[in-house]
Amino acid sequence: MRKLFLLLFLLPVLAMAQEFDSAWLAANYTKKEVLIPMRDGVKLFTSLYIPKNSSEQHPLLLTRTPYSCAPYGADKLKNFQRGHMREYLKENYIIVTQDVRGRWMSEGVFMDVRPYNPSKKTNTDIDESSDTYDTIDWLVKNIQGNNGKVGVFGISYPGFYSSMAALSNHPALKAVSPQAPVTDWFMGDDFHHNGAFMQMDAFNFYSGFGKPRPAPTTVGPKGFDFPTKDNYTFFLRSGSLSKLSEFMGDSIAFWKDLMNHPNYDDWWKARNPRNFVQHISPDIATLVVGGLFDAEDCFGAWQMYKSIEAKTRNNNRIVMGPWYHGQWASGNGKNLGNVQFGSNTAEWYSTKIEVPFFNYYLKGKGSIDQINEANIFFTGENQWYQSASWPLAGTTDAKLYLQANGKLSFTPAKSATASFTEYISDPAKPVPYTEDVHAGRTREYMTDDQRFAARRPDVLVYQSEILTEDITVGGPLTADLKISISTTDADFVVKLIDVFPDKFSYAEPTNYLMDGYQMLVRGEVFRGKFRNSFEKPEPFVPNTATRVKYELPDVAHTFKKGHRIMVQIQSSWFPLADRNPQKFTDIYRATEKDFQKAVIRVFNNESSISLPIVKRK
């Protein structure tokens, strides 16, 4: 009797233990691989996991990717144990992954961020939205047991294909979630920020990803063989972007495109989905997801949401958590680097937001009343704010003035005497973006301790008094600098920083000394020659005061009582962004002889950072 009781007790435990392994997947799902024909005859390789449960009809959840739908082979099952994909398996979704045109096992020719064509007239007029339409059409007509409802989601580059899916307007498409979507590779995502070239990500990525694939394959390309694992040393020794182009060779088409389009021209604008979101049907619900500390596509998530909100009438929502790139799908959102968030924010997101969103629109199950228009996590106080709008109602802008002697205040200085603080920007000794030595770009730099930079003579530091009350900031920042430079071009990096008290520790202590920690809340670079126009750059007039004003991506952060607010200003962020020669020229073809020092002055009291202050109840 005791053995029977023990067995009955253990059965649910054993079932749960087995629930998410390969044996459970094989017992409950059938995997199929098909080639789906597009309107121009090209066939796209597609992997399907179909529930064996036939008691009900099932929705389809589609991800289109350039990163492979491996493992290949109907008998090779994907490991779905990471993150919350297993929740969709438990819900008996038909899980569909597709290699996009020209990648991996799909036919055709690949094109990076293929432009959307709003006026397709013939079967040869294709884009990613038409490939999505044709895929959905085939799926609902050929996969037995589907309920005729389709959702699309994807993170990063698959986020771009999710945005393109929303533009397909297939009647079976009910819900789309672009997550950290590649949106504008010149203004703010991955490879450029405000015209500054993010060389480390671009070179590391395209030296492998960009290699041509002449025929369908299951074997991925190899990247560049770096001579040293110290990325700062490698990129400094390389000297210039022209040298990186030599390393890249002649076969990587998109790298050549990057080098040939140094300004924000029509070529770039055609590859910006924000210019076309007005074509999304109001019948398609959208859920834009991103990370406050996403080093790759923070810009894209905020801006795609705002564009859909401004240009469409569809049901549109946004979720921004305290995450690195894709962390919300990792199952663990308790911290990023040294900064802790007080709870598993990724688990909260999956159970409260994403799974209910797709269940509601694709299965008619449950409610989405708990998913507000804006679902934003505020770091510092470590709380979710759920609101009917973004920015939050009652948010007003307040200026933080840069003042003499490194002071920072919401009140302008009384002295009418003009003053400035200056530094020498030397391209031979650029300011590093992080203190440690790494081979690749870290994701944790977005919340890194900035004390290493504050100690450099080529970094200006402005700091407030100790705060006597909490200050909550939610929305985009604006850097408004009055400067002069001794040369004809320069970059500007502005960083908003939370300075922790001199005695500080988390409830769960870390190995890192958090006393006086200078947490990067937001940093952004701006290429000075684009200060008046991204289409038509202009040189600076040496030693002449001028204004550089630009917007930094939105933040959601509370500076707690007892902390300080800090602003740092510098002119290099290496090797994250390429070095500006500090000479007005085509930087993509500059050589080492073009690089020169610049004396940079920032005029106190005439320079400020505008913060969107949330009114506290």
d(CA 376, CA 150) in angstroms, rounded, equals 27
* 192 half-sphere exposure, CB direction, 13 A CA radius: 20
d(CA 396, CA 378) in angstroms, rounded, equals 17
Q: Which residues, 6 or more positions from 223, have their beta carbon under 8 angstroms from its beta carbon?
A: 204, 207, 208
Q: Which residues, 6 or more positions from 306, have their beta carbon under 8 angstroms from its beta carbon?
A: none
Model confidence at 485, in pLDDT bands (50, 70, 90)? very high
Express each pLDDT in 26-75 by its tens digit. 999 999 999 999 999 999 999 999 999 999 999 999 999 999 999 999 99
Beta-carbon count within 10 A of 41 CB? 10
Closest listed residue to residue 362, CA positions, set 60, 123, 78: 60
Model confidence at 84, in pLDDT bands (50, 70, 90)? confident
Model confidence at 19, in pLDDT bands (50, 70, 90)? low
Dihedral sign (CA 329, 334, 339, 340) = positive
First to last CA, the chain: 61
Mean pLDDT on 444-470: 98
Cβ neighbourhood burial of 78 (10 Å; 0-12, 13-18, 19+): middle
Express each pLDDT in 95-113 by its tens digit. 999 999 999 999 999 999 9
559: pLDDT strictly greater than 60: yes
The two tokens of residue 364 are 């008619």
Mean pLDDT on 551-579: 98
Is 427 in a helix, a strand, or coil?
Answer: coil
* Whether the Cβ atoms of residue 565 and residue 496 lie closer than 8 Å to each other: yes
Express each pLDDT in 262-271 by its tens digit. 999 999 999 9
Q: Which residues, 6 or more positions from 112, have their beta carbon under 8 angstroms from its beta carbon?
A: 254, 257
Domains of the chain, CATH where assigned: 30-184+273-387 (3.40.50.1820), 396-613 (2.60.120.260)
185: pLDDT strictly greater than 80: yes
d(CA 582, CA 595) in angstroms, rounded, equals 6
d(CA 281, CA 501) in angstroms, rounded, equals 50
Is 180 in a helix, a strand, or coil?
Answer: coil
21: pLDDT strictly greater than 90: no
Express each pLDDT in 118-149 by its tens digit. 999 999 999 999 999 999 999 999 999 999 99
